[in-house]
Amino acid sequence: MAKAQSSFVIPIESKNNALALQVGAKKDLSTIYFGKKLTSTGEYAHVPAVYKQTSDYTGLLNSVYTPSGSRNLMEPAITVTHADGNNSLDLKYVSHKITDVKEGVKLLSVVLKDPVYAFEVTLFYQVYYNEDVIEQWTEIRHQEKGNVILHKFASANLHLKAGSYWLKQYHGDWAKEMQPEESKLTHGIKTLDTKLGTRANLFQPSVFMVSLDKPAGEDEGDILYGALEYSGNFRIDLEVDYQDNLRIIAGINNYASPYTLKTGEIFKTPAFLYTFSDLGKGAASRKLQSWARNYKLMDGKGSRLTLLNNWEATQFDFNENKLAELLKDTKKIGVDLFLLDDGWFANKYPRNDDHAGLGDWQENKKKLPNGIASLVKEAQNNEVKFGIWIEPEMVNPKSELYEKHPDWVVKEDKREEYYFRNQLVLDLSNPQVQDFVYGVVDGLFTKNPELAYIKWDCNAVIYNAHSATLKNQNHFYIEYMRGLYKVLERIRAKYPAVPMMLCSGGGGRVDYAALQYFTEFWPSDNTDPLERIFMQWEYSYFYPAISSSNHVTDWGKQPLKFRTDVAMMGKLGFDIVVSKLSENDLKFCKEAIQVYNGLKPTIWQGNQYRLANPREGSVASMLYLSADLSKGVVFNYLVSSRYDEGSKLPVRLKGLDPVRKYRLKEVNLYPGVSSALSGEQVYSGDFLMKVGFNPLLDLNRTSVVMQIEAL
């Protein structure tokens, strides 16, 4: 426990960055610095004096956690009504301590207290030294005589100083996930948020970037990345205040969620995650990707299974025989696992389309007279693994589950039901529903211990947010998420290793709270490879390739090779009718999987460098490079079909060892096609980074994969 002196600085330093907090004479805790670390820790204290901005009339403009109802005039981080009905809050520094969590990870906690009320907030900063990542959250508690209402309860409240701020944010819809927009922040508040409850990212994810002074490039400029680790409603306010500083207040969305906090109860907020780089978007993304693999993503350093999925190939129309054929195809093309998608369950209201059956997780006797068990066995006979699709949080009104347990469903009894994809959401705030959802997964594994993979879908948003059992409806959105995480905790306690894909009608639910339980996510139902080049590009700023499930399907007009190359830039899967492939197509797929098996350690664990941005020209180019700089792979695409388009200029590589020599070789060629690159391609790292390399893309050669090996 550090002793409180009159005024002092608490520096939070990682390998390259620093966040400096200052305890003032009146015990207000403020942010005085955020950015590149200073050589001398003692100099953070001099920072405030060199800024000559207009007055801070409150002494709270740069508060680390802005309370409201006292002196504050800006957007608060926390707003409360005390047990006596009073709305004022002030928070003063009491103490702080630093603990070692594990190697490279430290946790700073700072206790703040209201001088008048028995109300306190502890701020937590978990610092990942090597990755320059901070996770920040808070715990709120009180000892007042009666309940306190929390009206706002942010996870973090950052304060940045720069000449201007450029926000890169994302929007989307089904099949159009991760559409970027970049704009200058003006004075006032810009809010990124969702009120969808489940499938929360459908229109907007919580991931964003803020460049300082000018939009950062791929390899230059000051940039902050932020994201809330939460799968439900979030809210991020970016406020440029009258002093021209940027305040970022991020947390659970307080929309329809005033929280009644009992005496002694702890309200813990989800973590807000951020990293900073002065070397542009690329470096920031590599930090975040390493952090995710090292600490957050389930099995981030592990392996993944290639698979054949039947969704695009059969939709709901299959039976045991058809699946047996598909299982043979799985073995034939050489992937590790067969994934059975939607449509395998429900009897009274069979799941033959998306209008019925959700909730009734018993095998459909007509389609699967011998159950999942026989399919698992059939998979074993074919020497592949077997995985299955579920959507356990949901229910169709046409289902036995709905008939039996209407009170388990999120709806307003007084109002007409309203559906998203003909379905409703189950009330995970109800412990009985939690048991049911857990039971869906547990039941599958208990009956089929060899089951090797789960695709967990979530296709509806929450309308008519109301629980039949919850005492305080204002807690609904929060209790839903607590319920979901409880279920996932239980599943992981019993089944710690089984890979699970996080899917949500495409990419409607991707965040680092959920990815603690899932090995991968489904970026979008849109698998048109041209669209995927753009989408995967944007996802890659925040999530490592190993977490991105990319399937080769029949979407789009590109040839099979193009589609496969794009899907290889992550975790490869197929969702095509293998039996309908031409001889050459089949040969290509088989060979592609072999090629992929050789490249996947580099794609999954290597560092990712964006070389040519498809939004800025006709060529897209992405490099994955092993940590020891000895192996790499570059994916190159022509993204325009206009006359005479091609890679006119060489593509400059990044991250290589300038002194070493590298051999480049085109791989993943279609049978019978030879590479346009003739002769031995050996260049120094220096040459490849300063001059570059031409993949010779043209209208007949739209997709080129280059393998790189240090000699």
Residue (214 or 421) nearer to ligand GLA, CB: 421
H helices present in 473-547, as ranges: 476-494, 529-539
Binds ligand GLA by CB under 6 A, chosen from 299, 329, 457, 565:
457
Distances, alpha carbon 623 to alpha carbons 5, 219, 285, in Å: 51, 14, 13
CB of 354 to ligand GLA, least distance (A): 6
Q: Helix (H, G, I), strand (E, B), or coil: what is residue 248?
A: strand
CB of 504 to ligand GLA, least distance (A): 7
CB of 420 to ligand GLA, least distance (A): 12
CB of 525 to ligand GLA, least distance (A): 5
Read off φ and ψ for residue 360, nearest 5 degrees: -100, 85
CB of 564 to ligand GLA, least distance (A): 19
In contact, 192 and 206? CB cutoff 8 Å? yes
In contact, 588 and 565? CB cutoff 8 Å? no
Q: Which residue is nearest to ligand GLA (CB)?
A: 342
Query: How many CA atoms lie less than 13 Å away from 342 in the CB half-sphere?
Result: 23
| CA dihedral over 652, 658, 660, 661, signed as positive or negative | positive
Residue (280 or 506) nearer to ligand GLA, CB: 506
What is the x/- site pattern for ligand GLA, positions 351-370, by CB under 6 A? ---x----------------
Smallest Cα–Cα separation from 346: which of 300, 394, 418, 407?
A: 394
By CB atoms closer than 10 A (0-12, 13-18, 19+), residue 323 is buried
CB of 535 to ligand GLA, least distance (A): 14
Measured CA to CA, the distance from residue 148 to residue 83 in angstroms comes to: 5
In contact, 292 and 301? CB cutoff 8 Å? no
Q: How many residues bind ligand GLA (CB under 6 A)?
A: 12
Residue (501 or 623) nearer to ligand GLA, CB: 501
Name the residue type at position 248. I
Q: Which residue matches tokens 């994955």?
A: 624
H helices present in 391-499, as ranges: 400-404, 431-447, 476-494
Residue (240 or 424) nearer to ligand GLA, CB: 424
By CB atoms closer than 10 A (0-12, 13-18, 19+), residue 557 is exposed
CB of 482 to ligand GLA, least distance (A): 25
CB of 459 to ligand GLA, least distance (A): 5
What is the x/- site pattern for ligand GLA, positions 381-420, by CB under 6 A? --------x-------------------------------
Residue (291 or 456) nearer to ligand GLA, CB: 456
Q: Which residue matches tokens 């031995």?
A: 680
Residue (67 or 397) nearer to ligand GLA, CB: 397
* 342 belongs to the binding site for ligand GLA (CB under 6 A): yes
CB of 317 to ligand GLA, least distance (A): 12
By CB atoms closer than 10 A (0-12, 13-18, 19+), residue 96 is buried
Measured CA to CA, the distance from residue 270 to residue 513 in angstroms comes to: 8
Smallest Cα–Cα separation from 638: which of 647, 648, 627, 650?
A: 647
As a whole number of Å, the end-to-end CA separation of the chain is: 54
Binds ligand GLA by CB under 6 A, chosen from 299, 525, 528, 591:
525
Residue (336 or 341) nearer to ligand GLA, CB: 341
What is the x/- site pattern for ligand GLA, positions 232-271, by CB under 6 A? ----------------------------------------
Residue (257 or 550) nearer to ligand GLA, CB: 550
Measured CA to CA, the distance from residue 278 to residue 614 in angstroms comes to: 23
The residues in 463-522 that bind ligand GLA, with binding defined as CB under 6 A, are 503, 505-506, 522
* 459 belongs to the binding site for ligand GLA (CB under 6 A): yes
Smallest Cα–Cα separation from 122: which of 316, 300, 340, 268?
A: 268
H helices present in 44-179, as ranges: none
Residue (144 or 341) nearer to ligand GLA, CB: 341
Residue (387 or 606) nearer to ligand GLA, CB: 387
CB of 567 to ligand GLA, least distance (A): 14
Tell me which DSSP letter residue 296 carries: I
Distances, alpha carbon 312 to alpha carbons 36, 119, 339, 434, 583, in Å: 48, 55, 12, 31, 21
Tokens, residue 218:
């791929």
The residues in 311-330 that bind ligand GLA, with binding defined as CB under 6 A, are 311
Dihedral, CA atoms, 99, 100, 106, 112, nearest 10 degrees? -10
Residue (34 or 174) nearer to ligand GLA, CB: 174
Residue (353 or 489) nearer to ligand GLA, CB: 353
Tell me which DSSP letter residue 279 carries: B
CB of 364 to ligand GLA, least distance (A): 14
The packing angle between helices 560-568 and 529-539, to 10°, is 10
Q: Can you give the length of the chain in residues?
A: 711
Residue (202 or 224) nearer to ligand GLA, CB: 202
What is the x/- site pattern for ligand GLA, positions 266-305, by CB under 6 A? ----------------------------------------
CB of 315 to ligand GLA, least distance (A): 8
Residue (229 or 341) nearer to ligand GLA, CB: 341
* 523 belongs to the binding site for ligand GLA (CB under 6 A): no
CB atoms within 10 A of CB 182: 12
* 16 belongs to the binding site for ligand GLA (CB under 6 A): no
* 336 belongs to the binding site for ligand GLA (CB under 6 A): no
CB of 521 to ligand GLA, least distance (A): 11
* 341 belongs to the binding site for ligand GLA (CB under 6 A): yes
Tell me which DSSP letter residue 485 carries: H
CB of 506 to ligand GLA, least distance (A): 5
Binding site for ligand GLA (CB under 6 A): 311, 341-342, 354, 389, 457, 459, 503, 505-506, 522, 525
